[in-house]
Structure 1
Amino acid sequence: MGNLVAKLLTVGAVIAASSIARKATDGTWKFVTGNDSPTNPEDPDIDLKEAVAFAVLSGALVGLARMLANRESSRVISRASRRTSEQIADATN
């Protein structure tokens, strides 16, 4: 599997994971607070505590989703190319 294909697979997985994480963030926010998630947490009209809580929640979920997507895409690429994950990381950087 070429380096370009590996990079495209990883980017696609991260974009998909980020999108799913955003939906999970919105759903979790709605479940916990009963309100829709802030459309723009940087808006000064939004309470600072709410903005910070939303930033922490969304940052954690997006970071977790990206990490899992990177790990899984590395595993798939490693199996497909029969190379170790270290070799793949060196080739895609």
Structure 2
Amino acid sequence: MADKGDLGWRVMAGAAAFAGGFVAKKAITLAWKKSTGKEPPTNPESPEVALTEAIGWAVVMGVGMELARLLATRAAAKQWAKGTGELPGSMKG
């Protein structure tokens, strides 16, 4: 069973990743609108969406969301280490 420190870290990391993803989605959508002049596709799987647009959106969104998750989790780990004096158990090398 997970100890309280591990559970606390999981909650903190999950919240950070969720918040980072929320902000990233808003930022990516805004950047898409500014760069293409159009709304991003709401359903890239639809045959009515051009394949190049669907692939472009999938790549931009995938990379952007993963980058946001990575940065948010790293920032949370840094704060965790400040508070506890050590990195979370799952991040120890």
Band of TM-score, shorter chain: 0.7 to 0.9
Q: How does 1:1-80 map to 2 (within 5 A)?
A: 2-80=5-83
Aligned partner (choices 80, 85, 90) of residue 82 of structure 1:
85
Question: 2 CA distance for matches of 1:26 and 1:9?
Answer: 26
Displacement over 4 Å in runs of 4+: none
Stretches of structure 2 lacking an aligned partner (at least 5 in a row): none
Question: What's the Cα RMSD here?
Answer: 1.6
Query: Normalising to structure 1: TM-score of the pair?
Result: 0.87
Distance 1:53 1:88 in 2: 37
> 8 Å contact 1:9–1:73 — kept in the other structure?
yes
Aligned length: 89
Identity %: 33
Preserved contact between residue 25 and residue 58 of structure 1 (Cα < 8 Å) = yes
1:62-91 CA distance string (max 9 Å, x none) = 1110000110111111111111x3x53268
Normalising by structure 2, we get a TM-score of: 0.87
> Equivalent residue of 1:38, what SS?
coil
